Amino acid sequence: MGRNAGTGEGALPSGDAMYERLSPAEAHGIVRQKLEHLADPWALTPDDGYRLARQVRIRNYAPGEVILPRGVRADCLGLLVRGQVTVHLSQRRGARPVVVLLPGSTFGEAMLVGGRASTVTLQALSQCEIWFVRRDQIVALAGKRQTERRATLFKNVAIWSALVLAAWFALLLLVILPGTRRALALVPLAVGQLCHQQGYEACSEQAWSVAANLSPEDVNPLLALGTLYFEREELGTAEQYFKAAKALAPDSPEAFNNLGLVYAHQGEHERAIAAFEQALALEPGIAAVERNLGRSFQAIQEYDQALAHYRLALSLGTPRASIWANMAIAYLEAAQPFEAQDAARQALRYEDLAPAHTVLGAVALEMRKPDEALVHLYQALALDAAYGQAHFYLGLAYKSLDQPVEAIAAFEQALVTADDEVARVRIRSHLNELYESERR
């Protein structure tokens, strides 16, 4: 049973327990947690857990209504969100309950996984709301994942076969035509790009390493390898490759831009700004570099400079949605809520982005509209459940609504996803205040 399932004879609940109801965030969290524990038989991913949690079927039961009779094979997982449910070992009327389930309790795991019949009867004691995840939803998703894995395996075999053939072909030509090394490097370079597009990192790494060895004077394999390690967050190795590319091609704006990205991720924004500015000096008018430069100025709280570069990036082209979202965040951090609100709305004209909804939620909080903030913040988390800022502002919204349990849950999730110590200190401050209030 779930977190509130009792044991023994189980006295009937009274007082506040009779009216307890899980918040949507709590309910979705419990469903996802249960699905994570039950994922192995179906080889589901964490994202699948989020997807299934959003597809729950909600049913309401009147007092006295039987939810699940003993002996029935109900292939579903149930979560009690509101009300109380009695558990009986017998189907006889008036049978004494052995357990009373409260909100947060779950049932049906064995039936969901093994198709077993229910060994008890569940009956609504009060008006109940129950969320169900059915086996057929999980099986359909598992079948889709199996098909995807088979397709991936087939592509993997095909790509590795192509790489091996390309390598043999290259070696053969090297024996026959020693002066064709640079031309030959194009083959593994292209194979590496194909592997990268399909998500096969090991294949990409080997192919680009072959290309770099075949043509040591070509900067492209070095840039490709640096980008691969940057995406893996192996920043030291990425920096080495980008520096090697810069030494080989000192007029390459891409090498300077990529070095700037490495420095920015390391928190060295002054070095990042210098690298981005050098990239623009070599080739002015690159929208992506202007945006990167704006982010680094924003990180050191030079908001006027940041916004100027964001505007220039907008004038140069796409992606407009992400640039407007960056501007919205910059305006919010610069204590310009109305400009932040306008920029967030501009971002949402182009794409539904979690940061834009989060900014609208934060502005609503500043305007003392926590209920409106909740709407925007739940939209943000529906788009990106791991977006830490949305969890943080959700905590503030619940705190302003005097809902400490929900606020604590949101702040704890924000703490898990926080990516810098300054943010973690701010979150812990709110949590400590709420913990102390709960103790009192």
Residue 244 φ then ψ, to 5°:
-65, -40
What are the residue ranges spanned by the domains of the chain? Answer: 15-141
Q: How many CB atoms lie within 10 A of CB 246?
A: 21
pLDDT digits (tens, 9 = 90+) for 295-314: 999 999 999 999 999 999 99
Residue type, 150: R
Residue 89 has pLDDT above 90, yes or no: no
Residue 177 has pLDDT above 70, yes or no: no
Beta strand pairing status for 85-88 and 121-124? antiparallel
Whether omega before 221 lies within 30 degrees of 0, making that bond cis, reads: no
Q: What angle do CA 191, 197, 384 make, to 5 degrees?
A: 165
| CATH architecture group of domain 15-141 | Sandwich (2.60)
Query: What band does 391 get if pLDDT is binned at 50, 70 and 90?
Result: very high
Q: How many CA atoms lie within 13 A of 399 on its CB side?
A: 22
Mean pLDDT of 346-362: 94
Is 38 in contact with 120 (CB distance < 8 Å)?
no
Q: Exposed/middle/buried for 114, CB within 10 Å: 0-12, 13-18, 19+? A: exposed
pLDDT digits (tens, 9 = 90+) for 113-160: 766 778 888 999 999 999 988 877 777 777 777 777 666 666 665 666
Map the chain to HEC letters: CCCCCCCCCCCCCCHHHHHCECCHHHHHHHHHHHHHHCCHHHCCCHHHHHHHHCCCEEEEECCCCEEECCCCCCCEEEEEEECCEEEECCCCCCCCCCEEECCCCEECHHHHHHCCCCCCEEEECCCEEEEEEEHHHHHHHHHHHHHHHHHHHHHHHHHHHHHHHHHHHHHHHHHHCHHHHHHHHHHHHHHHHHHHHHCCHHHHHHHHHHHHHHCCCCCHHHHHHHHHHHHCCCHHHHHHHHHHHHHHCCCCHHHHHHHHHHHHHCCCHHHHHHHHHHHHHHCCCCHHHHHHHHHHHHHCCCHHHHHHHHHHHHHHCCCHHHHHHHHHHHHHHCCCHHHHHHHHHHHHHHCCCHHHHHHHHHHHHHCCCHHHHHHHHHHHHHHCCCCHHHHHHHHHHHHHCCCHHHHHHHHHHHHHHCCCHHHHHHHHHHHHHHHHHHHC
In sequence order, which residues have a C-beta less than 8 Å from that of residue 58 and are 6 or more positions away? 81, 129, 130, 131, 132
How much is the pLDDT for 1?
A: 34
pLDDT at 185: 54
Q: Which two tokens stand for residue 264?
A: 């920015």
Token pair recorded at residue 262 = 């490495």
Residue 398 vs residue 14, higher pLDDT: 398
- Give the pLDDT of residue 174: 52
The tens digit of pLDDT for each residue in 25-71 reads 788 888 878 777 766 666 666 667 677 777 788 889 998 899 888 88
| Residue found by looking up tokens 């420095």 in the block | 263
Q: Report whether pLDDT(368) > 90.
A: yes
Q: Is the distance from CB of 29 to CB of 364 less than 8 angstroms?
A: no
Residue in 131, 151, 148 with CA at minimum distance from that of residue 2:
131
Strand partners, 21: 82
Residue 333 CB neighbour total at 10 angstroms:
14
Identify the pLDDT of residue 230.
Answer: 92
pLDDT reported for residue 164: 58
Task: Name the one residue in this structure whose structure tokens are 């990180």.
Answer: 299
Q: Read off the pLDDT of residues 283-295 as tens digits, 9 standing for 90 and up.
A: 999 999 999 999 9
- Exposure string over 359-398, b if 16+ CB within 10 A, otherwise e: bbbbbbbeeebbebbbebbbbbbebbbebbbbbbbbbbbb
| Burial (CB count within 10 angstroms: exposed 0-12, middle 13-18, buried 19+), residue 15 | exposed
Q: Is the pLDDT of residue 176 over 50?
A: no
Give the list of residues 6+ apart from residue 426 with CB closer than 8 angstroms, or none.
392
What is the average pLDDT score of the chain?
A: 81
Q: What is the pLDDT of residue 4?
A: 38
Sheet holding 85-88, edge to edge: 66-68, 121-124, 85-88, 99-101
**Per-residue pLDDT band at 345 (split at 50, 70, 90):** very high
Q: What is the pLDDT of residue 209?
A: 80
pLDDT digits (tens, 9 = 90+) for 187-245: 666 777 777 777 777 887 887 787 777 778 888 888 988 999 898 889 999 999 999 99
Name residue 82's amino acid. R
Task: Report the 10 Å Cβ neighbour count for 420.
Answer: 10
